[in-house]
Amino acid sequence: MKNLTGKKILLIICGGISAYKSLELIRLFKKQGSEIKTILTKSAKEFVTPLSVASLTQEKVYDDLFNAENEAEMDHISLSRWADLILVAPATANTISKLSVGSSDDLASTVILASDKDVFLVPAMNVRMWEHPSTRENLNKLRSFGYRVIGPEIGDMACGEFGEGKMTEPKSIIEEINIYFNSVTNNNKFKALITAGPTNEYIDPVRFITNKSSGKQGYALANAFAKKGFQTTLISGPTNLPIGENINLIKVETAQEMLQATKKNLPADVAIFSAAVADFKVKEIKSEKIKKNENLNLELEKNIDILNYVSKHNSLRPKLVIGFAAETNEIETNAKKKLVEKNCDWVVANDVSNKSIGFDSDFNEVSIFYKDDEIKDEKLSLKQKSAISEEIVNRVIQQLN
Ligand code: PMT
């Protein structure tokens, strides 16, 4: 069986001279047994006709955001949900620019913006356009959002110039997509457990101790693991975040509940502890709401440390235990201390004194410290939490294999 059999590919064709190659791409996907739906941008129709695309895909061609018939049959949200993967080939400088600013003024850009699937861009343009700093900056931004880029290649161009900007050949694109799905299939055998969000430690029936964690980092990790084919369990404290596909979500409230859920869902191959578990809880939870005029004296005690419990447990400990370290100062020293004291294989440290990353931000910047001296500690520069997560998952896959 080929890796692409039954895979649902949404191919977005933009307006460039290399759009003709997308016809060969469709033929190759069909030969591999993929299901393929297509969107043509307005300018793509200047280069390939909807009729030729429809003949090859034997499917309706989508081209208009404001088409009532299309929307009734499969609206733009369903189209983005239907796909296993979105491929933009050729991706023009204009489309790349639009995607980098989150524009949604046509069907193609709207579907991509509304999608939670992996997006592959296959740029094709004149060498000067490709080398232009704005194109470079736009692509770097898209990479930081987690978009993948195939090519372009160096060679003679249709415009008569020579250089980098040629669209990658359809056969090589198919190979790249095969590698992608192959790794997803290989990872099916692995189990990942992630803790996320804050915990609430009750004082009385309506009040609790908590913290600023939104759960974004942990949810992004769970999404990245699930997308890469892991059997993924996410144990989450209270958050308002939507959950991605193929994730076994277990909602908890207190650290004690998080520990119980964690124990119940082990063993796993990898566990990542990104939750900001409240370090303290009140010794005695009042059974009735504390009155304003009561003389309040709360006695706190240390909460159970979930990471510590799991990492030192003989039978429950996963092969790979990854702790997070939320630090405000002496990040390296403190993170390395946690690496040893909490018996982790890796610690991912973030600077939570910086308001634009860490708690409740969509972005993060982390340093990874490894127990194994043979692996060099490293820094992942400022990126969306989804992109940071993808980089972490890639390293986990390398390690587990
Ligand atoms: O949720 P977001 O808004 O996206 O923010 C992300 C984050 C900043 C919360 C996340 O990136 C992060 O740093 N998570 C760890 C927060 C934390 O509690 O760090 P810590 O240094 O206090 O704890 C070290 C490790 O022990 C962590 O893996 C933590 O999950 C774990 N721990 C801590 C206390 C405890 N009682 N049980 C634990 O398991």
Confidence of residue 72 (pLDDT cuts 50, 70, 90): low
For residue 56, report the distance from its CA to the centre of ligand 1, in Å: 51
> What does CATH list as the number for 188-400?
3.40.50.10300
Work out whether the CA dihedral 12, 118, 37, 69 comes out positive or negative. Answer: negative
pLDDT computed for residue 2 by the predictor: 65
DSSP assignment of 47-114: TS-HHHHHHHHTSPEE--TT-HHHHHHS-HHHHHHH-SEEEEEEE-HHHHHHHHTT--SSHHHHHHHT
For residue 325, report the distance from its CA to the centre of ligand 1, in Å: 6
Catalytic residue among 154, 159, 296, 340: 159
- CA nearest neighbour of 216 among 246, 187, 194: 194
DSSP secondary structure letter of residue 189: G
Confidence of residue 158 (pLDDT cuts 50, 70, 90): confident
For residue 118, report the distance from its CA to the centre of ligand 1, in Å: 27
Q: Do domains 2-185 and 188-400 have the same CATH topology?
A: yes
Nearest residue by C-alpha to atom 17 in ligand 1? 276
H or E, element range at 311: helix 306-311
* Cβ atoms of 52 and 78 closer than 8 Å: no
The ranges assigned to domains in the chain are: 2-185, 188-400
> What does CATH list as the number for 2-185?
3.40.50.1950
pLDDT computed for residue 297 by the predictor: 87
305-333: average pLDDT: 97
- CA nearest neighbour of 213 among 370, 364, 337, 338: 364
CA 201 to CA 207: how far, in whole Å? 8
Q: Which residues contact 157 (CB under 8 A, 6 or more apart)?
A: 126, 127, 163, 165, 166
The angle formed by the CA atoms of residues 114, 119 and 122, to the nearest 5 degrees, is 130
pLDDT computed for residue 354 by the predictor: 84
Q: And the tokens for 41?
A: 């941008």
Q: State pLDDT tens for residues 159-210.
A: 788 899 999 999 999 999 999 999 888 999 999 999 999 999 999 999 999 9
Kindly list the protein residues whose Cβ atom lies closer than 6 A to any atom of ligand 1: 195, 197, 213-217, 255, 273-277, 279, 303, 305-307, 323-326, 338, 350, 352, 358-360
The angle formed by the CA atoms of residues 100, 95 and 79, to the nearest 5 degrees, is 95
DSSP secondary structure letter of residue 198: B
* Rounded percentage of the chain residues whose pLDDT exceeds 90: 84
57-70: average pLDDT: 83
CA 338 to CA 325: how far, in whole Å? 7
Q: State pLDDT tens for residues 281-303.
A: 999 999 999 998 888 889 999 99
Q: Give me the chain's average pLDDT, please.
A: 94
Give 178-184 contacts, CB < 8 A, sequence gap 24+. 178/2, 178/3, 178/4, 178/32, 180/85, 180/118, 180/120, 180/148, 181/3, 181/4, 181/7, 181/84, 181/85, 182/3, 183/228, 183/229, 183/397, 184/227, 184/228, 184/229
pLDDT computed for residue 201 by the predictor: 98
* Cβ atoms of 127 and 157 closer than 8 Å: yes
How many angstroms separate the first and last alpha carbons of the chain?
23
- CA nearest neighbour of 147 among 72, 232, 85, 228: 85
Beta strand 300-302 pairing with 280-282: antiparallel
pLDDT computed for residue 245 by the predictor: 86
Q: State pLDDT tens for residues 115-129.
A: 989 999 999 999 999
Residue 195, helix vs strand vs coil: strand
9-21: average pLDDT: 96
Residue 143: CA count within 13 A, CB half-sphere: 13
Q: State pLDDT tens for residues 302-317.
A: 999 999 999 999 999 9
For residue 350, report the distance from its CA to the centre of ligand 1, in Å: 10
Catalytic (active site) residue 344: no
In ligand 1, the atom with minimum distance to the C-alpha of 327 is: 21
Q: Is the pLDDT of residue 26 over 90?
A: yes
Substitution candidate for ligand 1 out of 213, 346, 347 with most atoms within 8 A of CB: 213
Residue 377, helix vs strand vs coil: coil
Q: And the tokens for 10?
A: 């949404």
Q: Is the pLDDT of residue 1 over 60?
A: no
Q: State pLDDT tens for residues 83-124.
A: 999 999 999 999 999 999 999 999 999 999 999 899 999 999
CA distances to 12, 93, 126, 133 from 137, rounded to whole Å, are 22, 11, 17, 6
Q: How many CB atoms lie within 10 A of CB 121?
A: 26
Residue the block writes with tokens 């303290």: 280
Beta strand 320-327 pairing with 118-123: unpaired
Work out whether the CA dihedral 149, 155, 160, 164 comes out positive or negative. Answer: positive
